[in-house]
């Protein structure tokens, strides 16, 4: 299985102590650059992250493709719209509220979120539209955040919400609204606590560009990309399955689980293969087989033991 | 026909060839960009979608020739065959891009798509229906088939409707662009339905003096 391996850490890869000592000032700089940077391209700031055991032997998608070929309907439905229309979005200051069935509901400011120990996770990203990428995310396990708010025993699900700012997100205003806002997503609590599930604050070693879900987004690598909700402002723990935007828009097309599954087709296209973005252009061999759970079956298949994955797609 | 200076007759032929050259330009340019790695993101899909949208545009342009003549009095009938054939070639290129570049000739996947996915079934039907129209788009066939020719070529209305539907059914959320093409095709089909009555009404209103002879093409 090529899904994960524990790399031997070369001496040159070990983060020098001075960077550790500088972490605090570094975080402040990163948060500051989100707030104060000029609008548009050069807002990204470098992020310090430690290597993790979650990596891949596959070539990274070129950063240009990962940051210009996006689905983020709050900025428009075209693939280039998020990069083209998100320059006026302000990812800082930012607060994310955690409430619902938790012992210690609270808000987290951006600096607190960036202060979690950050790791680089190289994950496959499989879109429900049958294309895929390999992206080096920077983030921290969602479980680390959930631990801080102490979920109650009655909590079974985690609900997420994207920010609503029609004045900064052109897809949320005007006559044509492709989806109902806020964009909402949800996970089962055990899925949310799985070590692979992260909240990402960056990619390619830098803070998240607006079009990729700045300043903080969800990444669940064994699920279709639409589960990876962007620009999160609220996380709620609930007892019942939370409503999810795409599931509401097309219940027979987008399931609550949305686990990557080559055997269960989308009604309008096959999910058996995928097109790897940024590889080969017109004539390269860029169509490849899709793997069950996007190649993470070894880690996550047990979460769904005994479940009918055709019915629970 | 005030406001529309007519093209000198000697330029009619060259203007049709110019239309073919201009008509193929979007496909040739996009193919060049894609083949040399200059199309960003998902180049195969970009190219596939570009060919599809231009096919739909040429179909609509083909259907617009008659209403333009009826309502504005400009006769562009000489361009209709070129526009119809451009639509056919673009649909064909759209299909070839899907089968060769996108599905890399995985025959079983392609057949399953055509059989099981309604929007692909509809698109495929439109391509098949276009073949007899393209084959009979020549003077010899028009002479040979007589009245039958115009009956066969009325299929273009079905094809345009199928094309607009195919486009709307292919996307995740039907947006303004899909609505626009559905609307244009609906208006053109509706015009076909009321055209004879409208022309008769206009003739009668004009009285016994026939200002301009309007022939049924």
User: Which sequence spans correspond to the domains of chain B?
Assistant: 9-206
Candidates A176, A277, A286; nearest CB to B175: A176
User: Which parts of chain A sit beneath pLDDT 70?
Assistant: 1-43, 280, 284-285
Does the beta carbon of B98 lie under 8 angstroms from any beta carbon of chain A?
A: no
Residues whose CB falls within 8 Å of the CB of residue A283, separated by 6 or more in sequence, listed in order? B35, B101
Show residues of chain B in contact with A64, CB under 8 Å: 40
pLDDT of A36 reads 54
Say how far apart CA A216 and CA A115 lie, in whole Å.
Answer: 13
DSSP assignment of A151-185 equals: B-TT--EEEEEE---TTT-GGGSSS--SSPSSPEE
Q: What is the mean pLDDT of residues B40-55?
A: 95
Does the beta carbon of A1 lie under 8 angstroms from any beta carbon of chain B?
A: no
Q: B162 with B125: CB under 8 angstroms? A: yes
pLDDT of A42 reads 46
pLDDT of A39 reads 47
The reply to whether residue B40 touches residue A80, judged by beta carbons under 8 angstroms, is: yes
Q: pLDDT digit string (tens) for A210-227? A: 999 999 999 999 999 999
Q: A84 with A221: CB under 8 angstroms? A: no
The reply to whether residue B41 touches residue A270, judged by beta carbons under 8 angstroms, is: no
* pLDDT over threshold 80, residue B136: yes
The reply to whether residue A281 touches residue B43, judged by beta carbons under 8 angstroms, is: yes
Does the beta carbon of A248 lie under 8 angstroms from any beta carbon of chain B?
A: no
Does the beta carbon of B119 lie under 8 angstroms from any beta carbon of chain A?
A: yes
Q: How far is A53 from chain B (nearest CA, A)?
A: 29
Confidence of residue B210 (pLDDT cuts 50, 70, 90): low
Minimal-distance CA residue of chain A relative to B103: A287
pLDDT of A190 reads 98
The annotation places the binding site of A for Mo-molybdopterin at 70, 73-74, 127, 162, 212, 217, 228-230
* pLDDT over threshold 50, residue B83: yes
Candidates A272, A275, A277; nearest CB to B109: A272
Main-chain dihedrals φ then ψ at residue A186, nearest 5 degrees:
-155, 155
The reply to whether residue A275 touches residue B101, judged by beta carbons under 8 angstroms, is: no
Q: Which two tokens stand for residue B66?
A: 């008659």
Candidates B34, B103, B175; nearest CB to A282: B34
Residues 36 through 75 of chain B touching chain A, CB cutoff 8 Å? 37, 39-45, 47
Q: A151 with A101: CB under 8 angstroms? A: yes
pLDDT of A11 reads 57
CA separation (Å) from B44 to A82, A279, B39, B90, B185?
20, 11, 9, 15, 27
Torsion of CA A171, A177, A182, A183, to 10 degrees: -80
Show residues of chain A in contact with B176, CB under 8 Å: 175-176
Minimal-distance CA residue of chain B relative to A253: B172
DSSP A226: G
Confidence of residue B215 (pLDDT cuts 50, 70, 90): low
DSSP A135: E
* pLDDT over threshold 70, residue B178: yes
pLDDT of A33 reads 63
Lowest mean pLDDT among A8-12, A161-165, B16-20, B88-92: A8-12
Domains plus CATH for chain A? 11-304 (3.90.420.10)
A131 pairs with which residues across the strands? A275
Minimal-distance CA residue of chain B relative to A70: B41
* pLDDT over threshold 80, residue B184: yes
ipTM of predicted assembly, 2 dp: 0.85
Other CB atoms within 10 A of residue B153 CB: 19
Q: Which two tokens stand for residue B211?
A: 């200002």
pLDDT of B123 reads 98
Q: A37 with A29: CB under 8 angstroms? A: no
Q: Which two tokens stand for residue B6?
A: 């007519």
Tokens 């409707």 belong to residue = B161
DSSP assignment of B72-138 equals: T----GGGHHHHHHHHHHHHHHHHHIIIIIISTT-HHHHHHHHHH-HHHHHHHHHHHHHHHHHHT-S
Residues 147 through 186 of chain B touching chain A, CB cutoff 8 Å? 169-170, 172-173, 175-176
pLDDT of B38 reads 87
Does the beta carbon of B113 lie under 8 angstroms from any beta carbon of chain A?
A: yes
Say how far apart CA A137 and CA A134 lie, in whole Å.
Answer: 9
DSSP A56: -
Residues in chain B, total: 217
Nearest to B55 by CA among B23, B81, B20: B23
pLDDT of A197 reads 98
pLDDT of B75 reads 93
Q: A261 with A292: CB under 8 angstroms? A: yes
Show residues of chain A in contact with B39, CB under 8 Å: 281
Chain centroid, CA A200 distance in Å: 6
Nearest to B47 by CA among B60, B34, B61: B34
A-B C-beta contacts closer than 8 Å: 67
């Amino acid at each position: 299985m090529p899904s994960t391996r524990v790399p031997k850490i070369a001496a040159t890869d070990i983060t020098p102590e001075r960077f550790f000592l500088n972490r605090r000032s570094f975080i402040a700089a990163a948060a500051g650059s989100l707030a104060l940077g000029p609008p548009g391209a050069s807002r990204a700031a470098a992020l310090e992250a430690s290597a993790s055991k979650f990596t891949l032997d596959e070539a990274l998608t070129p950063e240009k493709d990962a940051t210009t070929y996006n689905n983020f309907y709050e900025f428009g439905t075209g693939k280039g719209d998020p990069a083209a229309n998100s320059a006026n979005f302000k990812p800082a200051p930012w607060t994310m509220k955690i409430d619902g069935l938790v012992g210690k509901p609270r808000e987290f400011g951006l600096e607190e979120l960036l202060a979690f120990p950050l790791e680089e996770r190289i994950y496959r990203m499989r879109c429900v539209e049958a294309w895929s990428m390999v992206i080096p995310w920077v983030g921290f396990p969602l479980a680390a955040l959930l631990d801080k708010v102490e979920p109650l025993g009655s909590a079974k699900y985690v609900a997420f919400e994207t920010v609503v700012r029609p004045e900064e997100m052109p897809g949320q205003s005007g006559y044509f609204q492709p989806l109902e806002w806020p964009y909402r997503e949800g996970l089962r609590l055990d899925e949310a606590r799985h070590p692979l599930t992260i909240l990402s604050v960056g990619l390619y070693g830098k803070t998240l560009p607006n079009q990729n879900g700045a300043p903080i987004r969800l990444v669940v690598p064994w699920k279709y990309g639409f589960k990876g909700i962007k620009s999160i402002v609220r996380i709620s723990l609930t007892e019942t399955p939370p409503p999810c935007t795409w599931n509401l828009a097309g219940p027979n097309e987008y399931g609550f689980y949305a686990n990557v599954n080559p055997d269960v087709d989308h009604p309008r296209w096959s999910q058996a293969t995928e097109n790897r973005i940024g590889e080969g252009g017109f004539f390269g061999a860029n169509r490849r087989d899709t793997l069950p759970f996007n190649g993470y079956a070894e880690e996550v298949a047990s979460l769904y033991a005994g479940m009918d994955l055709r019915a629970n797609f | 026909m005030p406001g529309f200076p007519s093209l000198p007759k000697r330029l009619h032929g060259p203007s049709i060839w110019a239309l073919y050259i201009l008509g193929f330009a979007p496909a040739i340019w996009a193919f060049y960009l894609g083949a040399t790695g200059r199309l960003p993101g998902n180049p195969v899909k970009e190219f596939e979608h570009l060919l599809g949208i231009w096919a739909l545009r040429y179909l609509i342009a083909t259907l617009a020739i008659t209403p333009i003549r009826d309502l504005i009095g400009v006769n562009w009938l000489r361009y209709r065959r070129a526009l119809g054939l451009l639509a056919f070639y673009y649909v064909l290129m759209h299909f070839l891009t899907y089968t060769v570049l996108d599905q890399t000739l995985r025959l079983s996947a392609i057949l399953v798509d055509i059989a099981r996915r309604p929007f692909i079934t509809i698109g495929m039907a439109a391509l098949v229906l276009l073949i007899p129209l393209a084959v009979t788009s020549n003077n010899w066939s028009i002479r040979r088939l007589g009245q039958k020719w115009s009956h066969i070529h009325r299929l273009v209305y079905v094809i345009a409707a199928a094309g607009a539907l195919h486009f709307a059914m292919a996307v995740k959320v039907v947006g303004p662009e899909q609505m626009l093409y559905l609307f244009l095709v609906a208006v053109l089909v509706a015009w076909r339905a009321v055209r004879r009555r409208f022309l008769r009404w206009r003739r009668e209103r004009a009285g016994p003096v026939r200002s301009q002879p309007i022939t049924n093409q």
